[in-house]
Structure 1
Amino acid sequence: MGTERVDIEADYVVVGAGSAGCAVAARLSEDPGVTVALVEAGPADDAPMMDVPLAAGRFLGSAYDWGFHSDPEPGLDGRVLALGHGRVLGGSSSINSMVYLRGAPADYDGWARSGADGWSYADVLPYFLRAEDNDRGAGPLHGVGGPVAVSDSRAPHPLTAAFLRAAQQAGYRLLDDLNGPDQDGVGYAQATQRDGLRCSAATGYLRPIAGRPNLTLVLETPVTALLLDGTRAVGVVGRRHGVPTRIRAGREVLLAAGAYHSPQLLMLAGIGPAEHLRRLGIPVVSDLPVGDGLQDHLRLAVSWPARLASLRAELTAEERTAYERHGTLPPMAHAGESAGFIRSAPHLPAPDFHVAGVPCAIGGMLASAGGGLALAGWTTRPTSTGLLRLRSRDPGEQPAIRHGHLRTAEDRRSAVDGVVRMLEIADRPALRDVIAGAPLDGPAGRDPDSVLAWVRRTGVSMHHPCGTCAIGSVVDPELRVAGVEGLRVVDASVIPRIPGANTNATAIMIGERAADLVRGQRRPTARRDVSAAAVSGPVTGDEMPVTDLA
């Protein structure tokens, strides 16, 4: 840093106020003896309807989304995919479909077997519980009193119920708890909601501590560079209204910018694949496989016209106006009400395919939802991986992203057979009674060639990117970046293998555990200073001690 001007100083600088960043910043700031600066590129989460479940899809592709796109994907007919990623306080938890699924215990036990010591299911379950305020009450698998509200659906949609009946008719068990020890079957999924409204990481972790004097929230400040003193991270540089802003870290810099931005910032600082960095003229600080191992789920959805009113049709102009003017709400149904874990082939020892009934027809993104219903699915643990690399030394240029979907024969088989299983569920009486015609866009046939051609033509990202700074290759089990002092990655980038479910709950858990690792603790404390008192509405910059950087 030398004699450069410093705009903000804190013991810990957290880059990114998404699911993990909100958790780690709130937990670290429980100690009044330390200071924390939480830096977010996007604005406050105060957009109209952002907390209303039915409106979730409108924010994908909006100003609250980074607008990432993949490079052409060879396995998907060379198509370019939209990669939704929240650019707002709360990150993707402020614009996602709110599904609360953790994945199977075997997912985390697999992490531990691969060398991620301290990340087995027994190790991470206490952090899931510490984060939860579950309306089912406390128990061995659920917590109460935590920041993140987790709720059952207040108004399940009839089309969702029809899907679950059809799945049972197809031979799948109805499960009471999709986060239980047995996840072989289908059921209603819980959501990150309180009183029918979205409970993002910002709402859960930051709103109850508004005004905490040792936590500084810096909004609308994209970080453009890590500051290094030799091989030690000492801060970051951001840009607020085009003005460079230096934020010094007295103890550590914690990257929670997500699986696309965290590796980008590392590589720009010379932490990454040496050959790639040298080609761009970036001096190498630590030669690491940053950006390798990118993983995501590939969503496959078949839609039909329906005889019942769909989810999208229920959000009328009158209901929207009533909410905006008077605070009255439409039914709190949402697109992620149901889920299930099934076998794409009967010989498999465990479920390998996720399936859900969606009470609306869906296109490439939920934002294009319309009248009808859909069955959506994806291979839970794809073996294909991709790559993220810099295009240039310009931090404002999006990196080159290729997920590598369907690279392996196993992923292609699972996708094809899983789609056939979905279509078999749609053939059952409970769904035949509500389907009003032929699929709006489905495979030409059920033979492998026809289904695979459709998969390649229509598959889209589930927006679950992870693995680009994995434990064991880029960071150690304490999440410390190899070869650099005072620097950790504390988001979904560190996941060594994608869990078989939506990744938001996992990212929150990583943030919770990261805070204890920074504090030198291997097991969670019982203390819960982040209140779970009922809260609503957005967190705005005016409610936190935000440094004036204009």
Structure 2
Amino acid sequence: MPEGVGPQPEARIAAVHTTDVLVLGAGSAGSVIAARLSEQAATQVALIEAGPAAWNDPWIRIPAGFARLYASGRYDWRFHTEAEPGLAGRSIHWPRGKVVGGSGAVNGLVFLRGSPRDYDRWAQSGARGWSHDEVLPFFRRMETWTGEPSAERGTEGPIHAAEARHTSPGAQAFIAAALEMGHQRVRDFNGAWHEGVGPMQMNVRRGFRSHSGDMYLRPARRRPNLRIMPERVVRRLLFEGRRCIGALVRGPMGFERWEARRQVVLSAGAIGTPQILMLSGIGEGAHLQEMSIPVLVEQRGVGQNLQDHFLQRMRYRVRPCATVNELVRGPLGKLRMAARYAFDRRGPMSIGAAEANLFARVLPGAEEPDMQYLFVNFTVTSYDQGPDPWPGFMFSACQCRPDSRGTVTLRSPDPNAKPVIRANYLEAPHDQRLMVEGVKYARRLAAQGPLAALIEEELTPGPKEQTDEQILEHIRRDGGTVYHPCGTARMGEDALAPVDSRLRVKGVEGLMVADASVMPLVPSSNIQPAALMIGERAADFLRAEVKGA
């Protein structure tokens, strides 16, 4: 029997630890929860993380370092989907953060909540208490917004958010082209309405990445009631009857048994959370039996409802206009970028994945934006290979609310085995139509004067791809992920929702889930702010649970 499956002989346990609240996963939400709970000196909190702490890695702190982190895979779980039928049989790399701070420590720093209507849809789907008006106080609590004050923005939270401090000539042309098409300049993409164009908002503080591992946990880590335990992989949850009492963990010196007197919180992300639940006997009974795992609780919704944003990169060869492709071509350009960043924390190194953003209605009759376009001041065929050797920029056409749904299931009962991920991209006809129209809309944007003056050639999809059928086939061969998986342990009141609206796992006691897996529907843009908000909300729930225990 593989390690971690079934009963573990006590002789193999290297250490036993006890705490009040055990948080499994130090990602965006888990870091928030552990830090907030440790504010109560009487509550003992232990935070388990599979990856290292990496408090001072400069490539995490520098916004542009995300590309280097992606290429190195240093803090990456290195997940891949199965061969995707809708993508010409391609397997897609799904990087997920394996470090204190989780994916928020390694992502592209795009900081957008999505539409207020997204959260109203959560409530309408059965997540009671999660409408926009009800979650807005938690969005405000977790941020310090450095832009124009408004009722929607926070001013005293740990995560700092600001508009990009640098906009290249290409980004300025992108914004001008969208205005020429009739779009409005957005004052605040995280405000009451987000349709239109403007500079990207990023989670940065004084030119450095601002993420939950750094901004929540770093100040909290010297508290005597908080233990941050990196490089420990959760094997499975531990139960006494139907009560979750802790977790079996593989640590540096062997197996460790971590027990919680009051509550266990699973925050392992949209892939790790359903995997751990299923390894622990919570999931679809037939699948667990197939894996030879005893069924503790039949929960058919575990690992279902997987959602992700899909994109097609519009890549352009352009006239020289200070693209990153040009700047990194020689050592002198790299030195200039580094010197400017060191001097005033500006320039290309102060930017994450995108400099500017557009939310647009593409399909006829759309009541709100259905496509997002992110301007990127470089071109890559793959992040693994780095920028192309010619002046270039691109903008990604991203679907806001996909209809396609995927699954996460176990490959084997061995916790070391990567789970089976099927995203089912473009399975829904609506998604196919929207992506084709999204490419055509992007071409109209590129034809506007400000961009047309810079663009020399469309590289992808390319001028030969003109009919809807040709565009769709290109998307199948070339499109990919925006890295926003969520929904695999969604909250709701129906029988297929594994988690209730207070984030408690149904059918057991003492166990909560708080991460992107609980999202009933993917937000219209990025998911990091929503994950942080879930962490703040979960901490409030937990304070009440712990107080009443």
CA contact (8 A) 2:221 2:228 kept: no
Whole-angstrom CA distance in 1 between matches of 2:281 and 2:445: 51
- What is the letter of the counterpart of residue 450 of structure 1? Q
Alignment partners' CA distance in 2, 1:320 and 1:248: 51
TM-aligned CA deviation for residue 417 of structure 1: 0.5
1:49 is the counterpart of 2:73: no
| Closer/same/farther in 2, CA of residues 177 and 137 from structure 1, 3 Å limit | closer
Counterpart of 1:306?
Answer: 318
1:484 Cα deviation after fit:
1.1
Alignment partner of 1:292 is 2:304: yes
1:481-496 to structure 2, matched below 5 A, reads 481-496=505-520
Q: Deviations over 1:203-259 (max 9, x none)?
A: 110122230111100011111111111111111122123611221111111111100
Deviations 1:172-198 (A, max 9, x none): 222111112122211112100001111
Give the one of 125, 129, 136 matched to 1:118.
129
CA-to-aligned-CA distance 1:270-324 (integer Å, 9 cap, x gap): 0000000011111111111200000000121011112212135445756569969
Q: Does 1:347 align with 2:365?
A: yes
Contact 1:54-1:312 at 8 Å conserved across structures = no
Q: AA paired with 2:65?
A: A
Aligned counterparts, 1:336-485, within 5 A: 336-365=354-383, 368-370=386-388, 371-439=391-459, 441-442=461-462, 444-472=464-492, 473-485=497-509
Instruction: Tell me what 2:235 maps to.
Output: 224
Q: What is the match of residue 545 of structure 1?
A: none
**2:218 corresponds to:** 207
**Equivalent residue, structure 1, for 2:4:** none
Contact 2:461/2:474, CA 8 A, preserved across alignment:
no
Q: 2:228, 2:355 → 1: CA distance?
A: 33
| CA contact 1:298–1:379 (8 Å) conserved in 2 | yes
The residue that corresponds to 2:267 in the other structure is 256
Q: Contact 1:175–1:185 at 8 Å: present in 2 too?
A: yes
How many angstroms apart in 2 are the aligned matches of 1:445 and 1:169?
Answer: 25
Match of 2:29 among 13, 20, 24: 20
CA deviation after TM superposition for structure 1 residue 330, in Å:
6.0
Match of 2:69 in 1: 59
Per-residue deviation, 1:13: 0.8
TM-score by length of 1: 0.91
2:177 aligned residue (157, 166, 171): 166
- For residues 376 and 230 of structure 1, the distance between their equivalents in structure 2, rounded to whole angstroms, comes to 49
- CA 1:317/1:54 → structure 2, altered by over 3 Å: closer, same or farther? farther
Secondary structure, in 3 states, of the residue corresponding to 2:114? coil
- 2:459 aligned counterpart, secondary structure: coil
- SS of the residue corresponding to residue 309 of structure 1 reads coil
> Letter of the aligned partner of 1:391 in structure 2?
R
Match of 1:37 in 2: 46
Aligned partner of 1:337: which letter?
A: E
Q: Shift in Å at residue 368 of structure 1?
A: 3.3
Say whether the 8 Å CA contact 1:305–1:440 is kept in structure 2.
Answer: no
Partner letter of residue 421 of structure 1? Y
The secondary structure found in structure 1 opposite 2:522 is: coil
- Contact 2:59 2:65 (C-alpha < 8 Å) held by counterparts: yes
Report the counterpart of residue 3 of structure 2 in structure 1: none
Q: Cα gap change, 1:443/1:42 in structure 2, threshold over 3 Å: closer, same or farther?
A: farther
Residues 241 and 322 of structure 1, relative CA distance in 2, 3 Å threshold: farther
In structure 2, relative to structure 1, the CA distance for the partners of 1:317 and 1:90 (3 Å cut) is farther
AA aligned to 1:343 is: R
Q: TM-score, normalised by structure 2?
A: 0.91
Match of 1:140 among 146, 151, 155: 151
Alpha-carbon spacing, 1:475–1:320, altered in 2? closer, same or farther (3 Å): farther
Distance in 1 of aligned mates of 2:308 and 2:154: 28
Distance in 2 of aligned mates of 1:312 and 1:39:
40
Tell me, yes or no, if the aligned pair for 1:133 and 1:145 is still in contact at 8 Å.
yes
Q: Look up the match of 1:180.
A: 191
Deviation string 1:341-362 (CA, Å, 9 cap, x unpaired) is 1112232222111112111113
Deviates more, 1:309-318 or 1:370-379: 309-318
Seen in structure 2, the aligned counterparts of structure 1 residues 207 and 169 have a Cα distance that, compared at 3 Å, is: same
How far apart in 2 are the matches of 1:129 and 1:506? Answer: 11
**Residue 274 of structure 1: aligned partner:** 285
Paired AA for residue 114 in structure 2: G
Q: Distance in 1 between matches of 2:364 and 2:145?
A: 34
**How many angstroms does 1:121 deviate by?**
0.2
Contact 1:15 1:21 in 2 (8 A): yes
**C-alpha separation in 2, matches of 1:365 and 1:468:** 27
Pair 58,110 (structure 1): closer, same or farther in 2 beyond 3 Å:
same
How far apart, in 2, do the equivalents of 1:3 and 1:71 lie? 35
Identity %: 38
Aligned-residue CA RMSD (Å)? 2.1
5+ residue gaps, structure 1, are 522-550
Q: 2:540 aligns with which of 516, 521, 546?
A: 516
SS in structure 1 of the partner of residue 245 of structure 2: strand
Contact 2:404 2:431 in 1 (8 A): yes
Quote the Cα distance in structure 2 between the aligned partners of 1:481 and 1:443: 51
The Cα shift of 1:58 comes to 1.2
How much does 1:443 deviate?
A: 6.2
Unaligned runs of 5+ in 2: 1-6
Shift in CA distance, 27/158, structure 1 to aligned 2, threshold 3 Å: same
Q: 1:96 and 1:366, CA in 2 relative to 1: closer, same or farther beyond 3 A?
A: farther
